[in-house]
Homo-oligomer: A and B are copies of this chain.
């Protein structure tokens, strides 16, 4: 039995707990959270026990840790896990600061532990099928990428203040998708944006709508548009145009019901938010992590990917703030 500890008993921790528990040959042993009641409740559901971080790192039976606690704890937990030679599954971002994130990457590299960063979109059935079909040459060379990435509603302003800004909090996933799909690195980044939905976000020094353009070293083009509030829901689409065709990722819907009424033909809105939309992706991601730690398979979303996405988020933030094109 591979024994695993989970940090974080909130929304995403709850998802990961279920996915760890359902892996054959894996035992969810500890759940750690500053909110002890939440940890105890989640532990109870999966026959696990609560613990503090020290107990986890001291337990030599623990093979891996899953870090789903708040962003400001990530770097510390990664460093301690690397030192204790535990495999690491860590939610994005590695850290809000590039320096600390790079220090984590170095620690991971020198200790040699398996480390997966939670870019779950790469494991989504629709997104992964597109990647596979590109790899098989179905659309030739990718030339343009258009990403639409919109949330159904903004988080509380308190969250936004600690989030590192929209580019690190929200677009970091899109930057990772860009690198993964285009298989090319950014040469220039241009970002603009506005606060369109709630002026409290502007007051907090952030924006809620962005338009980003990346030109790659190979001259390929990518555009990303984001907003914190799309009234019709969580919109997660992209299109990649290649020399031989285009592949398009559509939204997933709760049902395949269509209503033909006296007014219009209507279909379901997209799956409500990321927990619903990426349910299968989170399962596949955890299965991949277990595969990596038990069978030595190389990890598909590395800490280096985490650094690279953060670099793009930093560049975009600079472009927006300084109103200039940023070269990388």
B144 touches A225 (CB 8 A): yes
Judge whether A294 is part of the interface by a CB distance below 8 angstroms. no
Q: For A215, give the chain B residue with the smallest CB separation.
A: B192
Q: Mark A133-167, 1 if CB is under 8 A from B, else 0.
A: 10000110001101010100000000000000000
Among A188, A213, A261, A266, the one with the most B-chain Cβ atoms within 10 Å of its Cβ is A261
Docked pose: A37 CA to B190 CA in angstroms: 52
Judge whether A23 is part of the interface by a CB distance below 8 angstroms. no
The interface stretch among A2-10, A85-93, A171-179, A241-249 is A241-249
Judge whether A45 is part of the interface by a CB distance below 8 angstroms. yes
Number of interface residues of A (CB under 8 A): 70
Q: For A221, give the chain B residue with the smallest CB separation.
A: B211
Judge whether A130 is part of the interface by a CB distance below 8 angstroms. yes
Tell me the A1-57 residues at the B interface (CB within 8 Å): 22, 24, 45
Judge whether A200 is part of the interface by a CB distance below 8 angstroms. no
Docked pose: A74 CA to B95 CA in angstroms: 58
Partner of A259, one of B197, B246, B268: B246
Docked pose: A195 CA to B218 CA in angstroms: 11
Q: Mark A233-254, 1 if CB is under 8 A from B, else 0.
A: 0010001010111111111101
Judge whether A269 is part of the interface by a CB distance below 8 angstroms. yes
Partner of A232, one of B138, B249, B261: B261
B266 touches A258 (CB 8 A): no
Q: Mark A193-228, 1 if CB is under 8 A from B, else 0.
A: 111110000000000011101010001111101010
Judge whether A58 is part of the interface by a CB distance below 8 angstroms. no
B256 touches A126 (CB 8 A): yes
Docked pose: A219 CA to B148 CA in angstroms: 19
Judge whether A125 is part of the interface by a CB distance below 8 angstroms. yes
Docked pose: A252 CA to B257 CA in angstroms: 10
A220 touches B248 (CB 8 A): no
Partner of A258, one of B45, B220, B250: B250
Judge whether A61 is part of the interface by a CB distance below 8 angstroms. no
A249 touches B257 (CB 8 A): yes
Point out residues on A near B: beta carbons under 8 Å. 22, 24, 45, 125-126, 129-130, 133, 138-139, 143-144, 146, 148, 150, 188, 190, 192-197, 209-211, 213, 215, 219-223, 225, 227, 230-232, 235, 239, 241, 243-252, 254-269, 323-325
In the assembled complex, 8 residue pairs joining A and B whose CB atoms fall closer than 8 Å, in A order, are A138-B259, A143-B196, A143-B209, A213-B213, A231-B262, A232-B245, A251-B256, A265-B268
Instruction: List 7 tightest A-B contacts by C-beta distance, closest first.
Output: A250-B256, A194-B219, A232-B260, A264-B266, A246-B260, A245-B261, A126-B255
